[in-house]
Homo-oligomer: A and B are copies of this chain.
Amino acid sequence: MLLSGGLDSAVVLYFAKRQGYKCHSLIFDYGQRHIREVSFAVRIAKAAGCAYRILKIGLPWKGSALLDKKIRVPDKITKGVPATYVPGRNIIFLSFALSFAETIKAQAIFIGAHAQDYSGYPDCRPEFLAAFSRMAKAGTVGRLNILAPLLHKNKSEIILLGRKLGVPFNLTWSCYRGDKRPCGKCDSCYYRAKGFKEAGAVDPLIK
């Protein structure tokens, strides 16, 4: 289970648990600006009663607003690939998950990627996940499934699913800026707020 501390992967964790999986979460400290999300991920894993480990894999190269404090996190939704894109991030995360899953002989890797109401990251698209699955089958011994149960859901559908599953949304963190309170302005805050609104729900983090 890739667990970021955000809302989506928390829903996936509870979804997988409900399906009967014994989950083990990988949480990444990759030098992200919003390192706050790591502590939220830990709290979610604990709330779900799930094993976890934090992997420190600091990416020494910059070039993304999430890695480099000199690059501004944009306020508005941008067209195309935004400044917060971290090249290869999900690919690296999934690769570690693959290594771990093959080592412990896990059945599946869960990821919270979804392609709707999202920032246009190339490593969240259905065609990427399908290609990663094929690559994983070619490059490992086992037969792991890569599962992205939210792939075709939008944010409000994800929130409604999470409510049904009892996800503690107050333990999830989305804001890219990572200050003490969500900024309410970045892409990630925007989609979170839009999702809660469309779901007719209140975000417990900012109430």
Task: Give the segment of A13-21, A34-42, A134-142, A166-174 that binds chain B.
Answer: A134-142
Q: Is the interface of A mostly helix, strand, loop or mixed?
A: helix
A interface with B by C-beta (< 8 Å) = 53, 55, 57, 59-64, 81, 85-92, 94-96, 98-100, 102-104, 122-123, 125, 127-128, 130-132, 134-141
Contacts of A88 in B (CB 8 A): 95-96, 98-100, 102, 139-140
In contact, A128 and B135 (Cβ under 8 angstroms): yes
In contact, A99 and B92 (Cβ under 8 angstroms): yes
Contacts of A141 in B (CB 8 A): 81, 85, 87, 122
Contacts of A64 in B (CB 8 A): 103
**Closest CB in chain B relative to A82 CB, distance in Å:** 11
Q: Which of B86, B91, B99 contacts A61 (CB 8 A)?
A: B99
Knowing A95-B92, A135-B131 are in contact, say whether A87-B102 is a contact too (CB < 8 A): yes
Residue in chain B with minimal CB distance to A59: B99
With the chains together, A89 CA to B100 CA distance in Å?
10
Q: Which of B63, B85, B92, B123 contacts A92 (CB 8 A)?
A: B92
